[in-house]
Homo-oligomer: A and B are copies of this chain.
């Protein structure tokens, strides 16, 4: 059985030759899909969807059925594993943390369950998805990167200027190192649990890496992300690191202990692939492209595929698909990749 027949996505992560680029899309189980909106309307709120394995599994599978994607990413939220660590989380509908970490003392109440527990709902959802997934389709687990999780933990909500988290990091740098290290260790345990229940690859989302200067990112984002990735060294699963807004960090990324670097749409795919030689790359069409006419989506997708490396490349958007994208636009994007053949 060739790599293409077994699992195109996992092969590309390992830089094994495939017949065409594998394709999946960040936030592919999302509000742009009418079948997702229908389930969401019934479930009521977002956290209930995450916490109910039947629902999480069903919405994970929806885009696979519709588009025949090469990988499914488990439906969840980066903040749910903070709850077993002692965090009081609510979505209203944006995330609110009612007991944010604002001082070195607050850090003490952030504990790591040993062994990891409290996310059994996700383990069950992973198993349900895996049981219903063709072996050709990979199942991706994920978590937030330590820095990105720290921004929510300290700010207590989504932030634009990140002043509270920077205040804590600058005022108590050693305590802040401990905070991101603890998050790295917790997320490593959490991802191991995901792998034990069926995840075949993991993606670490550093959604707010772009909020830091390169110097600060090295200490507070890349260093703990490296700690997290290294803790998975013994597992035989490809690791994907995604530093959104990280154009200024490109030259630091070749050293990350992971198999795949996901690029946002600001990155020049050809240049980034050269810099990242030795790693697989994933991305990076502007999600805004899917708001354009179908011919333009096709043209831009093909242009991306033409400049992408021939081995070790996974087609994706450069960020999550947005709720206002027409289903037909997603279809056009996916079909254009699926029709592309390597010589």
Contact = CB atoms under 8 A, between A and B. Distances in A.
Interface residues on A, range: 20 to 34
Nearest to A287: B161
A166 B293 CA distance: 11
A286 B248 contact: no
Interface in A297-343: 318, 322, 324-325
A7 interface: no
B166 A292 contact: yes
B293 A268 contact: no
A6 interface: no
A5 interface: no
Most buried by B among A171, A287, A291, A324: A291
A171 B248 contact: no
Contacts of A109: none
A322 B248 contact: no
Contacts of A171: 292-293, 296
Given A291-B170, A292-B166, A322-B161, A213 B286 contact: yes
A62 interface: no
A165 to B, nearest CB: 8
A291 B247 contact: no
23 contacts: A161-B287, A163-B287, A163-B291, A163-B324, A163-B325, A166-B286, A166-B289, A166-B291, A167-B292, A170-B288, A170-B289, A170-B291, A170-B292, A170-B296, A171-B293, A171-B296, A210-B245, A213-B266, A213-B318, A214-B268, A247-B248, A248-B266, A248-B267
Interface of A: 161-164, 166-167, 170-171, 210-214, 216, 245, 247-248, 265-268, 286-289, 291-293, 296, 318, 322, 324-325
